[in-house]
Structure 1
């Protein structure tokens, strides 16, 4: 794995040297004088652009607030956004470009594989890197300079198993997993292990490929087992295809999923909402949270962008404040001191209160969301065991 990423970094470095400036997106003015340049790379076009746009909106709002209050240690934040299209090579190329331009921290990206590539590329530079939403466990593992604002895939899998046992009283479960996705397999593997520990019988586990659109064979096999719950850990584009086919296969189970479900209501035709009625998924925050700080964030976001924030928006917003607090706490402006200060934070944000663990993962509760009559409803909070 390391050899593969080293090769990618080497290629990206060559590409960077030859690239022009035509793939820059939503860039602010380059930092000049007494300013703090923060670079970011997100999928602003392509299949993951909804995630990228939501995250960037949260980042922009946080930066505007911080600059209005005087910046970080008196320095105005200047942002630069590059579009990585959700692609691994583009993400690494963007990382090198942003560092070359003088970025003092990197925010990005959304999905796990490109986030891991950036993390691997950054270790030698020691520059602070935070992914708001990259959930693959290895992104931060053994990397002193790499952090995340979200919880990990295995963490979600554990919490979903606990929820299935404690709240749904599930006796049996089935799993339908995207075998080509680290996100999907990471949640599925942890869920299966935890479910068995808790006494839930995993009666079926079926897999599909990234480009599959017909899931009849897998779903028919699952239907024969008649499970209480069906875990489908994938992103909402794929879920919009799978869930109607699951009901057509006569699966009566309650659907469970990870944070990739956030956005499914925008993707599915409202005429199909009945197939995901009473489904549950883990998420990082809820717009129904009565915390005044959360409600103020939601109000300001709606005023700024004309829509409600997603969990990706909230995670992007929190990421900027993690950097702010870490940079202000640091003993100096060196990368080493900044990384140590971020690591030591006792952070309270829109997506919860947490400290970082030994691998720079936030240890925090998850919100369980229920899909009810075409809306996301807060169901409960689940803590790890």
Structure 2
């Protein structure tokens, strides 16, 4: 075989390989189970981002979705399958903190970067080199919610309902109560469990306590039911929640009972922060026909940030990508300007939303610098 033919053969071989070469990114999401609405919203954001940026390092990006069924055990098993069987070089997920903590242990052990769109509990990234996030953390949002309750709503007595089965809820309650008491507020803390549907005992205690606000730190299903039952018992005060309320199902389940509810959020489409925010909203509405939720925006940001990190790493080595993720500063995302610190946490502002005319509406923005 002539040298020319050999050269042509090599070029053809390289070309054919490049056609089939892909960069695999995992998406570990609760697509079924108790918080499947969260997973669906994040997936929509990832899909939009993937359409906009479908290649990196000259290769096609393949997103491999893995359903955690909203369970911790499945989150751990799912990320192991993504890494060991699918060969992903980075993972977006999980959505809720307890599942991200479980999955993060595996990511850390296998030295593959994981970026959570929305898990806010400090333990998600604590002591880890490979687990990061694009959302704020519970100390920040708990403090912001307490600031809003005291300074804007003038609340002095609050009953805090905590889902003791969720790391997210336990942590958020603690941070809210700590700041609320700092301002002289009186707090009563009562517990429930994921999946509970009857809250009359806790609500009766809240009414006897004279609560001016009921703060539910769990997820949308229970928040909606608490609101319904509180209003049925004649509670006239404020109902507050963390970002676990941020799903359309809150309104579908709660109806008029959640009207006027306030909750912390990472973003609102009516208050775009960056040029990327505006473009994201336009693209999302064009694709899905509705305005994007916070979780969709966070899913979009998580995907884009991972791709940027792969670009910076200049190769498909998970350890280099993990390092690149934590070097990202002033990233222009849909949810705002994001800086990832040395612990893998995002520095960003907190948005307060409310339910107004059965829609999520922007209420306020609290700067992270104000909460120190």
- Normalised by the length of structure 2, the TM-score is 0.88
Distance 1:58 1:76 in 2: 18
| SS, match of residue 289 in structure 1 | coil
CA RMSD of aligned residues (A): 2.0
Describe the superposition over 1:251-275 as per-residue Cα deviations: whole angstroms up to 9, x where unpaired. Answer: 22211111111125555357x41x3
Following TM superposition, by how much is the alpha carbon of 1:359 offset from its aligned partner in structure 2, in angstroms?
2.1
Q: Does 1:232 align with 2:216?
A: yes
Displacement of 1:123: 1.2
Q: Secondary structure at the match of 1:123?
A: helix
Residue 205 of structure 1: how far off its partner (Å): 1.6
The yes-or-no answer on 1:140 pairing with 2:125 is yes
Q: Distance in 2 between matches of 1:47 and 1:53?
A: 12
Equivalent residue for 1:340?
Answer: 323
Q: Which residue of 2 aligns with 1:57?
A: 44
Q: Give SS of 2:110's match.
A: coil
1:18 is matched with which residue? none
Q: Distance in 1 between matches of 2:74 and 2:253?
A: 32
SS of equivalent to 1:78: strand
Pick one of 105, 129, 139 that aligns with 2:90.
105
Contact 1:140 1:359 in 2 (8 A): yes
**Bigger Cα displacement from structure 2, 323-332 vs 247-256:** 323-332
Q: In the TM superposition, what whole-angstrom CA distance separates every residue of 1:35-91 from its partner, at most 9, and x where no partner exists?
A: 211112212222222111111111111111112xxx222222111112221122222
CA distance in 2, matches of 1:154, 1:345: 22
2: CA distance, partners of 1:209 / 1:102 = 36
CA contact (8 A) 2:28 2:92 kept: yes
Cα shift at 1:286: 0.5
Where 1:124 maps in the other structure, the secondary structure is helix
* 1:1-385 map, 5 Å: 33-67=20-54, 71-100=55-84, 101-202=86-187, 204-263=188-247, 267-268=251-252, 272-273=255-256, 275-291=257-273, 292-330=275-313, 333-346=316-329, 347-383=331-367, 384-385=371-372
Shift of 1:337: 2.3
Question: Do 1:240 and 1:264's aligned partners in 2 also have CA atoms closer than 8 Å?
Answer: no
Relative to the length of structure 1, the TM-score reads 0.85
Is contact 1:133-1:149 (8 Å) kept? yes
Q: Number of residue pairs matched?
A: 349
Distance 1:83 1:198 in 2: 43
Deviation string 1:154-199 (CA, Å, 9 cap, x unpaired) is: 3221111111122222222221222222221111111001111122
What is the aligned partner in structure 1 of residue 8 from structure 2?
none
What are structure 1's unaligned runs of at least 5 residues?
1-30
SS in 1 for 2:56: coil
State the distance in 1 between where 2:68 and 2:163 align. Answer: 23
**Distance in 1 (alpha carbons) for counterparts of 2:220 and 2:282:** 25
Secondary structure in 1 matching 2:194: coil
